[in-house]
Amino acid sequence: MRIAVLGAGAIGAYAGAALHRGGADVHLIARNEHLRALREQGVRVLSPRGDFTAHPHATDDPAEVGPVDAVLLGLKAQHYAECGPLLRPLLGPHTAVVAAQNGIPWWYFHGVEGPLANRRIESVDPGGAVSRTIPVERAVGCVVYAATEIVEPGVVRHIEGTRFSIGEPDRSDSQRCRDLSAAMTAGGLKCPVEPDLRVDIWVKLMGNIVFNPLSALTRSTMAQICRHRSTRDMARTMMNETLDVAARLGVHPDISVERRLAGAERTGDHRTSTLHDLERGRPMELDVILSAVVELADLTGAPAPTLRAVDAVAGLLNQRVSEPVLA
């Protein structure tokens, strides 16, 4: 299977290295010092499951790669609308685009029935910009349960988790999902094909919607948020409000809030990607994680007062990150 990883950062490079190790023809699209290191020494993965090094092809020019069977998007969701020039050279007639994103995907209401069928979520797909760049017919959903970080150019630390759940937006049983699952499994990853990936989306979102914004607002790790009584209570409330929105959309994740909090606390002093982005002065990936759920609360009539309050202050913080510093 011929696979391109567009945005070979921590998750993308880790998945690409595993796929290459499993025998897939992998092409990493990266840039700057990270690209230079990938070309010179390959991807070095440091993992409690065993360190390894893989040497897939790496480039900053997708035209050098050409059409592939699948593109694994390792970009943050806020960059999807602008990735067209990089994505187009990789697309053949049947290329799947596997969006390994957090939060609510732009294809969420594709293939569903009822009054919300094919509805566009503005905070995720503003003005339809993402749908124009990545047509929903190409999309394969992916929920990532792996935690990784880049410790230096070309070197990825795998912290925990190997599961990449995938599925078709219209819930169909497709050959392209089965082929991708086989390639990921051959590389040592878990890649179940889910009949309805929306359940996984909400399970993962229960953590992201709490810890990504709160970690940025408090400059704290996941364990610190869980161990402080007031923020733990806030986290519990936010998770319950999230489950209420999901239930109004017909999704009922089979996991308790207390279990989700305990799992987050066991992760220890893990700094979320949102906190890393804030510290580096980069825009934070909050629209698809938090603002989208507030938009869905509006659609379904869910009160979600705590989610709305956190969205307001986190949104202002995100805006300030992009503002020039005044002398």
Distances (CA, A) of 104 to 36, 79, 202, 286: 33, 15, 8, 10
CB 130 within 8 A of CB 20: no
Q: Cα angle vertex 157, ends 153, 163, to 5°?
A: 125
Which strands sit side by side in the sheet containing 43-46, from one edge to the other? 52-54, 43-46, 155-160, 147-152
Quote the crossing angle between the two packed helices 305-321 and 198-218, to the nearest 10°: 60
Place of tokens 């595993």: 18
Q: Is 204 a catalytic residue?
A: yes
Q: Which residues are 156's β-sheet partners?
A: 45, 150
Could you give the CA distance from residue 32 to residue 21 in angstroms, rounded to a whole number?
24
Tell me which of 34, 204, 260, 270 is the catalytic residue: 204
* Number of helices and strands in the chain (H, E): 12, 11
Give the angle 215-78-202 at the CA atoms, nearest 5°.
60
Among residues 76, 312, 42, 266, which one has the least CA distance to residue 154? 42
Residue 193 DSSP symbol: B
Q: Answer for the pair 105, 139: CB distance below 8 angstroms, yes or no.
A: yes
DSSP label of 63: G
Question: Which residues are the active-site residues?
Answer: 204
